[in-house]
Structure 1
Amino acid sequence: MFVKGGVYVKNNPFIPYKKGNLVIIDGRVDEKVIKFLEKLNIKVIKTVKCEDVHEAIAYHPDIVLHPINYKTLIVAPNVFEYYEEKFFGTGIELIRGEKQLVRDYPGDIAYNVGRV
């Protein structure tokens, strides 16, 4: 939240304004971590490997997803169908990105964006 004209505004997807109920986590995560999160009533969405980028970053959520706001994500077309299925019924809108990710920089960072 931030204050704009004396009013709290909740539109920065990088600053939580309430307890989260969903997490996108590296698909290689230990099952113990998933069970712990689920005990906290947090829905866990594991990333799928993006075969088109280097192995070191192939499971990183920030390589294939970019949040627009709390209810909207842009998803790399390479993995869109996987996330479309995983996010079904969550109330989060997915937008298929236009840029296909490729192995070498800078073609692997189209969705790994910092916003100010």
Structure 2
Amino acid sequence: MKIAFVDERIDVEELKNLNTLNIKVIKVPKTNLTYDAVSGHPDILMHIFNNKIILHRDIDAAFLHNLESLNLNISLSQKSIGYKYPNNIILNGVSTSEFFIHNTKYTDGELLTLIGNNTVINVPQGYTKCSTAVVSNKAIMTSDTVIAESMKKFGFDVLLLPPGDILLPGLDYGFIGGTCGLIDEKTLCFYGSLDNYKYGNDVITFLEKHNVKPIYLSDGKLVDRGSILIVDTEI
């Protein structure tokens, strides 16, 4: 059984459509430790690597107890999340099977331990996961030029997207990584539709190249709600 972690502010239509995919949806509770726009974003509040979950250490106790009852592999961050950048990015790195991408000056120590022997790519961008959508273990989409060039050096196929045209309530615009998440190796779910994204055709072509199917949880514009994070469990 797959579990999808989503911002508790997920739209009713998005939640309904995600539930049809035979996925258990768990809403991540907001925190008052960081600013409201990202305060419920899973990619700010937690990190998943190899089905192991790191939660920010001040996570809601009832939420933590609920996850523990599901026998998930859970640990807590060493540091607390701060209100503003860079203190709210401690878990916002990108993990693939072989690489970890982040501004490691601010990466939480528990996360650095978790990624183990993965090759660490240090980049200036701290909102790394927000800025990056993983398409496969060798393909990403990002709006950050340094991330793009860094990963090309390691043989990644990269779609570099211009910033903008993504909604993020409370801020001017959001980022591609925060609009979506891989449900499995061949399925990428989006908050919103690529048909209503300025660069949607480029994304569709890129996904087709890598045999990944997009699923739209709503018909509107893309919305950055923090990445959809998936864990596989035996429940």
TM-score (norm 2): 0.38
Instruction: Say yes or no: does 1:33 pair with 2:42.
Output: no
Which of 22, 33, 46 is the aligned partner of 2:3?
22
Which of 84, 87, 90 is the aligned partner of 1:104?
84
Which of 39, 42, 45 is the aligned partner of 1:61?
42
Aligned to 1:92: 72
Aligned to 2:59: 79
The amino acid that maps onto 1:109 is: I
For 1:110 and 1:32, locate their aligned partners in 2 and report how far apart those are by CA, in whole Å: 31
Larger Cα Rg: Structure 1 or Structure 2?
2
Secondary structure in structure 1 of the residue aligned to 2:74: strand
Cα pair 2:68 2:74 within 8 Å, conserved: no
Change (3 A) 1:95 1:65: same
The percentage of aligned residue pairs carrying the same residue is 27
Change (3 A) 1:94 1:83: farther
Q: Which runs of 5+ in 1 are unaligned?
A: 1-19
CA deviation after TM superposition for structure 1 residue 66, in Å: 1.0
- CA-based RMSD of the aligned residues comes to 1.8
Runs of 4+ residues over 6 Å off in structure 1:
none
Equivalent residue pairs, number: 96
Cα pair 1:77 1:96 within 8 Å, conserved: yes
The amino acid that maps onto 1:85 is: H
Deviating more after overlay: 102-111 vs 38-47: 38-47
Cα pair 2:29 2:60 within 8 Å, conserved: no
Aligned to 1:8: none
Change (3 A) 1:93 1:112: same
Secondary structure in structure 1 of the residue aligned to 2:63: helix
The amino acid that maps onto 1:96 is: L
CA deviation after TM superposition for structure 1 residue 101, in Å: 0.7
Which of 38, 47, 51 is the aligned partner of 2:32?
51
Cα pair 1:65 1:73 within 8 Å, conserved: yes
For 1:23 and 1:33, locate their aligned partners in 2 and report how far apart those are by CA, in whole Å: 12
CA deviation after TM superposition for structure 1 residue 55, in Å: 1.1
For 2:7 and 2:39, locate their aligned partners in 1 and report how far apart those are by CA, in whole Å: 9
Q: Which runs of 5+ in 2 are unaligned?
A: 100-235
